[in-house]
Amino acid sequence: MGKIIFIDVDGTLVDYEGNIPVSAVKAIRKARENGHRVYMSTGRSKAEVYKEIWDIGLDGMIGGNGSYVEDNGEVILHQKITAEQCRQIVDWLHERGLEFYLESNSGLYASEHFEEKGEPVMQEYSKRKGRPDGEKITVRSAFPEMIFGGELYRDDLNKVSFILSDYQDFLDARERFPQLQAGTWGGKGETALFGDLGVKNITKAYAIEKLLEHLHRDVSDTIAIGDAKIDIPMLEYCSYGVAMGSGGDEIKAMADYITTDVDKDGIWNAFEYLGLI
């Protein structure tokens, strides 16, 4: 019986310029031909997963850092922020003057001034990721699926990301919303640029557990590949954990194996090392 492989997207499957290395596509297709299952496991909501990623050929996805699980088109799990929680978050962010976007499977819904305030933040994020054209990034190019002027009080949210004016915003969000999971993200080096709020106790590891129950498979058959701190629970839970060479120090310190950088055939080399291809 084949292995079940979970691959993070940004910085793992997709490089820092938004490209999918040809070798990664070949590795995934060959592994599936060899009888292994391959799932993306990402912080992205389904609306952010572009056609080029699905065209690789995947068995399904874990999205929203674990709030959504899909197996060959069948929804296995979808835990959402409630409509009342959404209203409270939106009102609190407005009161603090923080710009944000709401993440759902139907799209990304931007706050009133996110396009203007978000541009320098996304340029800094892109620069940290090593994109040579980082200073030219706009919000619309970074988030082509983003919806401007949409309804902000919603009942279909996976999570909310908001621009930090400083780290205290994250600490205050965590205190204000103890019933939700608070986190930060910010690019290479993982210095915080954004805060986020999602469903409590949801992780990629939790989602993998639920998917394995659905598949009637054991955790001993699993391999996880990631590059960031948010991926650590996934690597800890799975039987074998691989960190990208271009990943953060924390995940590389705990991984069973460190492959090469995402844009230096990292996925292919990991699959080859593990005997999947």
pTM listed for this prediction: 0.86
CA separation for the pair 90, 79 (Å, rounded): 19
Which residue from 67, 148, 68, 165 is spatially nearest to 110, judged by alpha carbons? 148
The pLDDT of residue 232: 93
189 pLDDT higher than 60 = no
Average per-residue pLDDT in the chain? 93
Q: Which domains does the chain have, with CATH numbers?
A: 4-79+202-273 (3.40.50.1000), 83-199 (3.30.1240.10)
**Alpha-carbon distances of 79 from 88, 155, 207, rounded to whole Å:** 18, 11, 10
Percentage, residues of the chain above pLDDT 90: 81
Alpha helices in 109-201 (DSSP H): 114-128, 139-142, 167-176
Q: Residue 190's pLDDT band (boundaries 50, 70, 90)?
A: low
The pLDDT of residue 195: 94
For residue 205, give the DSSP letter: H
131 pLDDT higher than 90 = no
96 pLDDT higher than 90 = yes
136 pLDDT higher than 90 = no
Question: If you search the block for the tokens 């619309």, which residue do you land on?
Answer: 140
Residue 89 contacts residue 102 (beta carbons within 8 Å): no
pLDDT tens by residue, 101-115: 999 999 999 999 999
For residue 239, give every residue at least 6 positions away whose Cβ sits within 8 Å of its Cβ, in sequence order, or none: 219, 220, 221, 222, 223
Residue 59 contacts residue 73 (beta carbons within 8 Å): no
